[in-house]
């Protein structure tokens, strides 16, 4: 077995339609009366027969229009979405940067949330205490660090979440789009930190619509469409395949 890596063999991921059905009494009575009849919902086949292997040293981009399955692919690799069938093998410490707003307790202070978020990332309380001041300095939220998160602006929340989530890297780094986290100064620091995480990771999976960034960072790319891998190969060829698929101007 390789030291770290990703192997997906015939992976399918489906959402049951029952998860989308309304369960309220109002919806029940409305249905019985036949008023405002809702369309029948079918199961969603989000990922279809995915067969991919990624080995240490690879930087792999994910291309596809909105809804093509890029974010679902990343969350499946991270283990957040259980697969319906097939084989999923992920060996190595996974660090992901998406859904940064998740995991905050709005009534707790910023400092308290540093600990909470760290525990969600699998880090120890002693480690989080040792890096707390680094996180506070990077987030640059000033005295608000001792105020409840519910008093923060959206930008402050993202900056704090980013500072916590990137305090340590991992063998496998999963990135979903560019993070809008504040003013130009902070964005430059954020970009620098992301590049450091990429340099220190064994494997990178990057989902983005920024074709220039993908070409600069990745050597290989997957083109996704309706949950299927339509192309897997060199990033320059993948960009052209993506443009053909979406009808974008070459």
Average pLDDT of the residues of the chain: 86
Residue 149 has pLDDT above 80, yes or no: yes
Average pLDDT over residues 103-131: 92
Q: Which residue has the higher pLDDT, 131 or 37?
A: 131
What was the pLDDT predicted at 30?
61
Query: What tokens does 132 get?
Result: 């707390």
Q: Out of 48-52, 101-105, 125-129, pick the least confident.
A: 101-105
Q: How confident is the model at residue 7 (pLDDT cuts 50, 70, 90)?
A: very high
- Asked whether 205 and 60 are in contact (CB, 8 A), the reply is yes
Domains in the chain, start-ordered, CATH in brackets? 5-92+207-246 (3.40.50.300), 110-201 (no CATH)
What's the pLDDT tens digit per position in 155-171?
A: 899 899 999 989 988 99
- CA–CA separation, 118 and 127 (whole Å): 9
The predicted-structure confidence for 19-76, as pLDDT tens digits, reads as follows 555 555 566 566 665 555 565 556 778 899 999 999 999 999 999 998 899 999 999 9
- The tens digit of pLDDT for each residue in 173-192 reads 999 875 555 567 787 888 88
pTM of the model: 0.82
pLDDT at res. 181: 52
């Amino acid at each position: 077995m390789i030291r770290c890596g990703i192997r997906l063999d015939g992976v399918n991921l489906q959402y049951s339609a029952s998860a989308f059905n309304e369960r309220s009494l109002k919806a029940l009575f409305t249905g019985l009366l036949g008023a405002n009849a809702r369309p029948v919902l079918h199961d969603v086949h989000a990922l279809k027969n995915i067969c991919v292997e990624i080995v240490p040293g690879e930087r792999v981009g994910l291309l596809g229009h909105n809804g093509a399955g890029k974010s679902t692919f990343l969350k499946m690799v991270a283990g957040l979405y259980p697969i319906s069938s097939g084989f999923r093998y992920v060996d190595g410490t996974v660090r992901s940067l998406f859904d940064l707003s998740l995991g905050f307790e709005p009534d707790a202070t910023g400092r308290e949330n540093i600990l909470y978020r760290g525990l969600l990332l699998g880090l120890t309380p002693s480690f989080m205490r040792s890096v707390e001041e680094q996180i506070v300095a990077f987030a640059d939220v000033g005295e608000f660090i001792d105020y409840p998160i519910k008093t923060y602006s959206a930008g402050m929340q993202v900056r704090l979440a980013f500072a916590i989530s990137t305090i340590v890297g991992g063998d496998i780094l999963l990135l979903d789009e560019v993070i809008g986290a504040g003013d130009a100064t902070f964005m430059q620091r954020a970009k620098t930190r992301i590049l450091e995480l990429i340099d220190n990771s064994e494997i990178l999976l990057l989902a983005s619509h920024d074709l220039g960034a993908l070409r600069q960072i990745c050597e290989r790319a997957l083109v996704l469409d309706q949950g299927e891998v339509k192309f897997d190969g060199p990033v320059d060829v993948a960009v052209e395949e993506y443009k053909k698929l979406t009808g974008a101007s070459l």
